Amino acid sequence: MGRGLPEGDVRLWPSVKRRSELTTPYRGREGQWSWIAHRVTVVGVLLYLFAYIVDTALVGWGPDAYNRVVAVYHHPIIQIMELGLVGAVMYHALNGIRIMIIDFWPRAADHHARLFWGTMLLFGGAMAPITWIMGRRIIEATFG
């Protein structure tokens, strides 16, 4: 028969069975989710930065064009997105510090889950007053 997979019932192929029993590298939990969130938040920040550069460039078309476009920042949905932007920067910054702690002190990786939840606690603690201040203004501006 030469090389190749043996014939017959797939479940009896020892090598194939062993391969299917390997665990996925995507394990979920704190490590994977914080890694994904670090990237997702930075994409949001970069999109906002791009919009900011474009609307600032509109100054070249005169005050009328600029004022008309930046008026969109008074819209409540945009203001809620700005709150999200603050949250994204806050998460990225705090999680970045957590990553740097592990980079400088590799033994901190032994406590990575605890470090992650500590970071989340700091994040929540920082975002609570910010959400209160920004949220109140958004509600007042929207509903009078």
20, with CB counted inside 10 A (0-12, 13-18, 19+), is exposed
Q: What Rg value do the Cα atoms of the chain yield, rounded? A: 25
12 part of the interface to ligand HEM, by CB under 6 A = no
CB atoms within 10 A of CB 115: 20
125 token code pair: 């603690």
Binding residue for ligand HEM, selected from 100, 109, 128, 133, defined by CB under 6 A: 100
| 45/127 with CB nearer ligand HEM | 45
Residues 15-44 that bind ligand HEM (CB under 6 A): 38-39, 42
The values of phi and psi at residue 55, to 5°, are -70, -30
47 part of the interface to ligand HEM, by CB under 6 A = no
Give the nearest distance from C-beta 128 to ligand HEM in angstroms.
19
Distance CA 68, CA 75 (A): 12
Give the residue nearest to ligand HEM (CB).
96
Per-residue binding string, ligand HEM, 76-95, x by CB under 6 A, is ----------------xx--
Degrees to nearest 5, angle at CA 26 with 20 and 30: 145
Residues forming the site for ligand HEM (CB under 6 A) = 38-39, 42, 45-46, 49, 92-93, 96-97, 99-100
